[in-house]
Structure 1
Amino acid sequence: MAAAAMDDPTASRRVPRQERAARTVEALLDAAGEAFAERGFESATMTQIAQQAGVSIGAAYQYFPNKDALAFALRKRYGDEIDARWSTLVESGESSGEQLPLAELVERLFDMMVELMADCPAYLPLLSVSLGFRRDAAARNRLRERFSALFQRYDAALAPDEAYRIAEVMLQIVKSLNPLYAAARPKERRLLVAEYKGVLSAWLAARLG
């Protein structure tokens, strides 16, 4: 627990205990996302972010001691958001009792990823910022376990450890799109996503039959 706290630059920041404080934190994160997207991480300043959030610089430092802490918190927010979107996709199939064709599952996975990048314009710029960021192991495992269970519904003969391995590889394939997408022009981005969809659909079809 101590080691994890040392790795997280937000661990020392003041924890919001009131609704007003929580709103201030959200305003700072929103402003930081806009600033990093518009000016880049290096050029954005804490003073600009505080002004954009409508709070004093002193209040900003109460919650986030530096830009790294803000960027770290944003990376966590984005990771939680994409996990929530993907988990909702899996849960929708569970609740309806219907199983999406694999090609449609892949289509929706990548579409959700692209939507996140559009909704959170600082997502891609922050990927190149060295923060020592790593998702919480329990959170990572929960998502993999959800997809592992999903893949076992596609192939009842699939062993749990094999299904988990397929989930791990699948998620790494999806996330490997990020650096290519970030460097590509708009038209090329659409083509890249189409290529990724084709590759992942074919691989899952081969693995899950």
Structure 2
Amino acid sequence: MSSQKSTAESVEMRAPKRERGRQRVANLLAAASKIIAERGYDAATMTAIAVEAGASIGSLYQFFPTKAALAEVLLDQYGARLGDRLNALLALQTGLTTAKMSEGLVAMMLDLTADRTAVMAILDARDAGPEAGEARRQLRARLEDGLERLLRIVRPDLKGDALVSLRLSLLYMLKAIPAMVGDAPQLATQVRDDMTRALACYISG
């Protein structure tokens, strides 16, 4: 998803080859996601990320020479996880029902809530630049494509504008889930159950 080749290449050159190194990078990325989600992209510092990960600042810079490089990997990682969850539902094919689709989509949004908060913070901080706009378009396109493919399985009767309208409605319903949980985290289970039923009814028509 990165639109800057030099950044992607610099990170790739530092990609660890051993399991210990890969785990270290995973810890650094998790720490970065947490700090950025809590403080925002601009206020998040490399020092704070290293402290959260229990790593030295030198170790952080070894794999991620700049905060921008770290942000690019977080964006790519989120896009990949989103794609994996959608593909897992698509793999069900004829075994996919509206109930399973709804349950899977709601679970996906809840599981990705923390990562999505960090991703939105990164994109909002870069909102004036073309990079953020392209990243937003790619993430939305991936989700829209997945939703349309899922709908073609469970609602093969839908065509044209009817399919587009339902896809857009589902898109915005799903995007509301993280905000709902953020406003009332103690109701996360209730939100999951309510939204799962709502989506299933809506998809079924």
TM > 0.5 fold call: yes
Between the aligned partners of 1:204 and 1:116, the Cα distance in structure 2 is 22
Q: Deviations over 1:13-32 (max 9, x none)?
A: 43235515655543421332
Q: Greater RCO between the two (CA within 8 Å, min separation 6)? A: 2
Q: 1:127 aligns with which of 95, 120, 124?
A: 120
Match of 2:149 in 1: 149
Distance in 1, Cα, partners of 2:172 & 2:152: 19
In the comparison of the two structures, how many residue pairs are matched? 193
Computed over aligned residues only, the root mean square deviation of the Cα atoms, in angstroms, reads 3.7
**1 CA distance for matches of 2:173 and 2:61?**
38
| Match status 1:109 vs 2:109 | no
Runs of 4+ in 1 over 6 A off after TM superposition: none
Shift of 1:114: 1.8
TM-score (norm 2): 0.68
What is the TM-score normalised by the length of structure 1?
0.67
What residue in structure 1 maps to residue 89 of structure 2?
89
- Give per-residue Cα distances to partners, 1:62-111, cap 9 Å, x unaligned: 543444543443243233213211220221x22xx3232x1332122112
Question: Does structure 2 conserve the Cα–Cα contact (< 8 Å) formed by 1:85 and 1:112?
Answer: yes
User: In the superposition, relative to structure 1, how do residues 157 and 49 fare at CA in structure 2: closer, same or farther (>3 Å)?
Assistant: closer
Q: 1:164 to 1:64 in 2, by over 3 A?
A: farther
Which amino acid in the other structure matches residue 106 of structure 2? F
2: CA distance between counterparts of 1:172 and 1:80?
Answer: 20
5+ unaligned residues in a row in structure 2: which ranges?
127-131
| Structure 1 contact 148–163 (Cα < 8 Å) conserved | yes
Distance 1:10 1:198, change over 3 A: farther
Q: List runs of 5+ in structure 1 lacking aligned partners.
A: none
Identity of aligned residues (%): 26
Describe the SS at the equivalent of 2:112.
helix
Secondary structure of the 1:4 match is coil
